[in-house]
């Protein structure tokens, strides 16, 4: 009786963890986005502008969760530096034996509070550079490093829907990002890339000088205008971004998702 030789064992395919890049991931909303994604099984690349120590602390937190993480310096308002940043990103991916990121979260930003009549050209140009030209051209630069079937999450603001005096220029940039999100979803769709935008409401962080967090009267006023009766915390936003990047939500595309607790309804 002859026996048939056994077939060689097939190697077991091991799924690679997704890699997400979160700009402005050293503090505030970006820090919580990075944490939430790490808890969801992502490896993280975060950027910081000047807060290297804060970024390193976030990297340590993510590493403690069992995920890989690295912090890279980036000023999203300095558009000429984007090619060099892309090369640094490429080198880091190579060190992880990867050649693409799976997700890009355009979170980095800054605030300017000034009445429409008092807004200077310098303030306006700074907001354009950071909140519109920055994510526009950074995303464009990173397209070769973004995997087909990947996802992009942009960040808007509830101020693009409701109006609070003092934020005309800032809100205008966020409104432009909401339009850009739909165009990105349309034009990147052939690559299977989904693009959505999250619009936080009032959040108690250090953004804009920490006014929502530190000004008790402002905090109380905004809480009274919110259906859930309080202002938001950073933890209220990180989970929203992580959810959009979860496999089960791959069919959500070209959507504005407001996470405000129901402000100004």
Specify the DSSP element, H or E, that contains 55: helix 52-64
Angstrom distance (rounded) from CA 196 to CA 110: 20
CB atoms under 10 Å from CB of 124, counted, come to 17
Work out the angle between the directed axes of helices 134-142 and 168-188 (0-180°, nearest 10): 20
Lowest average pLDDT, out of 8-12, 37-41, 142-146, goes to 8-12
Strand locations in the chain (E): 19-22, 43-48, 69-73, 101-106, 146-155, 194-200, 256-259
Q: What is the pLDDT of residues 104-123, one digit of tens each?
A: 999 999 989 899 999 999 99
pLDDT value at residue 29:
95
**Is 170 known to be catalytic?**
yes
Q: Does residue 8 register a pLDDT over 90?
A: no
- Where along the chain do its domains lie? 19-204+233-259
| 151 contacts: CB under 8 Å, gap ≥ 6 | 102, 103, 104, 193, 194, 195, 196, 244, 245, 250
pLDDT value at residue 215:
77
Angstrom distance (rounded) from CA 228 to CA 222: 11
Exposure b/e, 215-252, CB count within 10 A at least 16 = b: eeeebeebbebbeeeebbebebbbbbbbebbbeeeeee
Angstrom distance (rounded) from CA 265 to CA 261: 10
Q: What is the pLDDT of residues 68-96, one digit of tens each?
A: 999 999 999 999 999 999 999 999 999 99
Q: Does residue 12 register a pLDDT over 70?
A: no
pLDDT value at residue 148:
98
Q: What angle do CA 148, 153, 154 make, to 5 degrees?
A: 130
User: What integer is the mean pLDDT of 174-197?
Assistant: 98
Q: Does residue 14 register a pLDDT over 70?
A: no
In the set 48, 167, 170, 183, the catalytic residue is: 170
Exposure b/e, 11-49, CB count within 10 A at least 16 = b: eeeeeebbbbbbbbbbbbbbbbbbbbbbebebbbbbbbb
Name the CATH superfamily for 19-204+233-259. NAD(P)-binding Rossmann-like Domain (3.40.50.720)
User: What integer is the mean pLDDT of 161-179?
Assistant: 95
Q: What is the pLDDT of residues 201-239, one digit of tens each?
A: 988 877 766 767 777 888 888 899 999 999 999 899 999
Q: What is the pLDDT of residues 237-263, one digit of tens each?
A: 999 999 999 999 999 999 999 999 999
């Amino acid at each position: 009786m002859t026996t048939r030789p056994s077939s060689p064992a097939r190697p077991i395919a091991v799924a690679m963890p997704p890699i997400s890049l979160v700009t402005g991931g050293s503090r505030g909303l970006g820090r919580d986005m990075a944490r939430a994604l790490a808890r969801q099984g992502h490896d993280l690349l975060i950027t910081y502008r000047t807060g290297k120590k804060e970024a390193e602390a976030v990297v340590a937190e993510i590493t403690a969760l069992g995920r890989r993480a690295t912090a890279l310096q980036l000023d999203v308002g300095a558009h000429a530096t984007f090619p060099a940043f892309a090369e640094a990103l490429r080198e880091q991916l190579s060190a992880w034996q990867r050649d693409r990121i799976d997700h890009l979260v355009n979170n980095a930003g800054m605030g300017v509070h000034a009445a429409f009549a008092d807004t200077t050209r310098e303030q306006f140009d700074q907001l354009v550079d950071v909140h519109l030209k920055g994510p526009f051209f950074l995303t464009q630069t990173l397209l070769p490093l973004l995997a087909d079937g990947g996802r992009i999450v942009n960040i808007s603001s509830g101020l693009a829907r409701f109006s609070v005096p003092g934020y005309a220029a800032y809100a205008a940039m966020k409104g432009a990002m909401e339009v850009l999100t739909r165009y990105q979803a349309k034009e990147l769709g052939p690559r299977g890339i989904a693009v959505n935008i999250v619009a936080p409401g009032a959040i108690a962080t250090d953004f804009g000088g920490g006014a929502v967090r530190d000004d008790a009267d402002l905090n109380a006023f905004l809480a009274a205008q919110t259906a859930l009766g309080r202002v938001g915390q950073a933890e209220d936003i990180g989970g929203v971004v992580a959810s959009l990047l979860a496999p089960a939500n791959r069919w959500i595309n070209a959507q504005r998702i407001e996470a405000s607790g129901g402000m100004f309804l």
